[in-house]
Structure 1
């Protein structure tokens, strides 16, 4: 049970002391007269107060539903109907209640989804939930109320273990498989530990993990608290290890650090939800694109599924996307640099290009369109050829190549904030950083810059006290000018088609499908353009963004650690039915606008990973188009598989898959490209044999 309306003792009419009523009588009177019933429980008696001046918030509510039923039915798997702001607020509210009610007569059942209820109105078509942030618990009012089961050893604090299990279920949206002891008894400890160890590799925030660990290892943390009174030590441990971490998790979300991009949460706000069938058989009908950026709020849920509807989100039109590049402001000084810093992947890609390619300036360029926040064309490094890594000598200019600024062929501003439609000056940094990655890794690429997002001139500025504190993997908040509207992207794709680009880099994504933008994406594919799209930075909390999750529209790119052995903890789980590619996306060093200090900056996210993957695709296209090649071998390959064209989404996907290593459900693209198995000592430096080996790999990939 929970208080639907709080009232202080001084607000009560002292003369109206209804202690003579039984609880059943009080409820009957409240129901008959449609009044709010307040109950105050004393040591010896109860007191009831009927308030006919308060309108009932839920007059149509007829029953309640267990949260476990919502988990089992799949309604909590996706976040469009039960958002993160509701989940984190619910978790925090329950933790506070647990602290207050512990060792009292109200706690008669385990603190889990089986014993939490939400008010629910059921109809033939759906169910409407009321106040999902304020659940009810079941209690028996009796002189001898039931007590919690008494367990031993690791399961001693079963109340806390059950709550830890609930926190994990709330985050992933489904029931956890139970575990038993060797004797065959159900063990809350083993259930939580087994599932948490598996999930700990995912994307839960550190604070949320800390709260679950507080429940899991409660018996150990209890020993750290001093004092004789066990109940005081229990409450202190609950407060320190569970309540406070959940509060920090919620505060981080409120400050703008959460990856699902919802605005400020007021604790205790009512939030009603309309739950429909979790399965979707066709994309939702898109709504018209918003014509202007002005007067948009932060209260938009950007990057998730299409499966449930919510009355509280009725103003959201689904046309704003989210950029997926972030900084760790906690250590931002170490991310600034006056020179490039490369990791394993970048170094190996550079070596692969230097050893395996015979590309010349006379060869056809690979045209890459970058849809982002623009670019700083005045960056000093762009006036020179790209920097290349030379063993033992650090970075040197690639003097045989043209200046990077000359590889930026065309620019167009699709935002309505500037009179000059060719002004793509980047005040944000995200677009410059992405463009810099492709310029570094793909010497064969020329860029077409489409500014489709205004950006935020405060973003990444560590000197500003009001800069949002973004933790690793969290997405940029779409406040005001940071939103990526569908109509801009549609126009930019049309522009890219006219320029006959080969690749489009989209380091952003959307929560839902949009009809007009989908048509533009389809048209791009029909014109031989391969689109690379970021998967999102929301980890297991959300599914892969659209269009990355649609294999007929784009190639989906996740982020991995540098050596590719594990996905980044913020990358979402592999989406079913598509090829989930991943490349390094953590701490990627690239260019930073002069207006914000210049130099180079490390950035993390599937945004940066997408840029790396786009550069790899540009290299593969360049390889099949270079004028110096083994003609005999190429003719043999094309006789076997037909004309080799990587301007087809399926062909590009097949080749990327062939040169990848499958790990943890993802395909990690090798920086050695076509030559990861070309390791014979005597053959390694022979360009003719290397070219032949490359064509053999293309033949194997496309034949599959």
Structure 2
């Protein structure tokens, strides 16, 4: 390096006076950076000059923040850098706001000036001296010199005006009246491109001008792309899917992964070159249940081979992160060899791009967005560029790996964002994930051939996805798997690009981004040049090189120029931004700050707020939202009572007389006693007998409750879906505790599984997604027989409906059917039956008093949705603020549902005693339809409802008679 310096082959950047001038200008501005912010909204929507001024401010702030130190360049790139720096300085010199410098804004108190001068540190004096040295430059930058002198003068420290760079009331730079700003943006763009080269970002093979002083083992600019660290990443994915294809379950389900896409995948960090963060779908297939895993290189010499599908299930049950070693010998689970902590985050807590598009989160941020106070909710161009860059890297490295890219990965439903669980100094990060799934129908070679045709479904789907990220809307353009039928789709996408190019408000970012999309649409033309290659490896290298130069590298430059301080595909959610009040149309921050962040998406159709420092929870197929901060004290039954129609776990509390309480107690005892002689408590059951399993999806449970503590051996598992520790199911509102107590009391032989999905009595917007996850987990992982849903929503929720459809009508790879019971609601006859009780296949439960009379708060009964069970004036207990439990009488369909679940568990427990009934009729009995048939023969009509009375079937009858009646109810010949 020293010889090169002496020979004049390379030059330090500090040799350029223009370079030094720009660095000094940045120092003058950054010393007072916190005072640079626009002050309020413009009175009218700005025209082109106003829009360009905002764009200039964004790019200029990024440039002035950049401090690269000393870099060494070849002669050619040094001359380009020096020329671009002089051009930018000349442009800025013409834009200096002389009126700002000459007007009075500082304090007129001479004593205050003197105090300021005396308190100045040596850095300020040194900076002022540096400014004075630039008077000797050959080019006349008098205005810039005056501006820097003004910024470093002692008087400016007392200036009270709200300065900005190019917008607001007191900008440092203004566009001349005859200038629209196009030339200034051109100068800024050229300088940004120079910075990308100097920063050492990957360059095309014909541009290797940057020389680093540090010794390196590889050159990102010259190294063959197939040897890039990202290629080893794709090989790991390929090896994992090769293992998946060999699993016995491949005929029933296809394991897929959600891969975390980040710059770390491509950096080649020592010890992490081949390690990937991902989530793996469980078996049987589920879109809601995912296992967190790290796959790659682990230093173990003698790994033990296991069935990876079994190990995924094992890790789920143990609540551990899965560590998979991938090498030339295969895929091995090494989780047991590592010291790991239990998972803090259960399943995949992310939201899909499609949901964000529905919520207009990716719509362009224009001035109108500020005036409408919606800009704060949208992502900026820097974020879009980072997302597109991450996706393009996946295209480059996975196009030849035999994956379902066109029909799976390049669909907005399968691109996700996930928030980290920990705060950094700059807020929480949102991480980009892409779903990958092996293509079992076609081989990789067949897919590669399609890449050379203009109707390539892989390329067109990717171009469509890029446009959706930019445009912020889902495009209704169908891409056919057969490339011969995609000409119209190719033309439609091209027309959209041209329409966006003609948009006068598009700006330079849109123009550069659309160039990438055009390159993507014309990729087939470039690739066709290599179609005649006979060497498969050479063809792949050629294709990867073309994708890099035409798409990936372009996005690297765009992402670098658009981003200020963020890196990779991670998006920062600032805690300051969440707390910001928005009374003003435009918050008092610079555009770069206010355009920076990706908010949470609401779960349809309820709108959400922002994250409040809590771990996130997933709304599958819908959204992600943070669980709200709960109070430290337990919420009592009296809180928020009487809110009709809102999604709710809790029931109405009504005054009850001693007479009603006594009748309810006698009714409950009769119910328990009628079944007691037929059902043996679990402790007395045979040790190898499979018990009936009941999942309670509710608000958790209080482990200190007397009934629960006495039956703790029957609580087989628990899982928290609301954030925090996955096994922390402490009940914060008491509802789940009441439900658990009742089911334990009614069904003495059942095993209980607790799923906590809510912290409050009223359901927050994220709860439906958590309920859907818990439903699939209960049926698919716990393999329960009955699911209890003591909740009601005034309207169907699509996410929960999909989960219910799956467990009520399971696919061939699902374990079995289940009985699902839900509360009818407590809104009275003025409202319909709540969801999910209204869903076909779910047993709807109304409530009665101790005399079998329907409750006045029941909704109107419907055919098939008219079962009623005791639910009024039931004795229970509640924990107060002093942690002591006091007696409480509870009422509502939630508690009727719990008692109904207990009755159903006893029916299934009893049926196991008859092999014919259990083995041959189980498929009918262990379903909501079968249990409804049994409930029918236990019921009597009362006030338009079917009052369920178990003694009608069980009380003092022989077991043979009971078995016969159940068989007849299901089917006469069973």
TM-score, with structure 2 as normaliser: 0.32
Bigger radius of gyration: 2
Give the structure, 1 or 2, with the largest relative contact order (CA under 8 Å, sep 6 or more): 1
**Which protein has the bigger helix share?**
2
TM-score by length of 1: 0.43
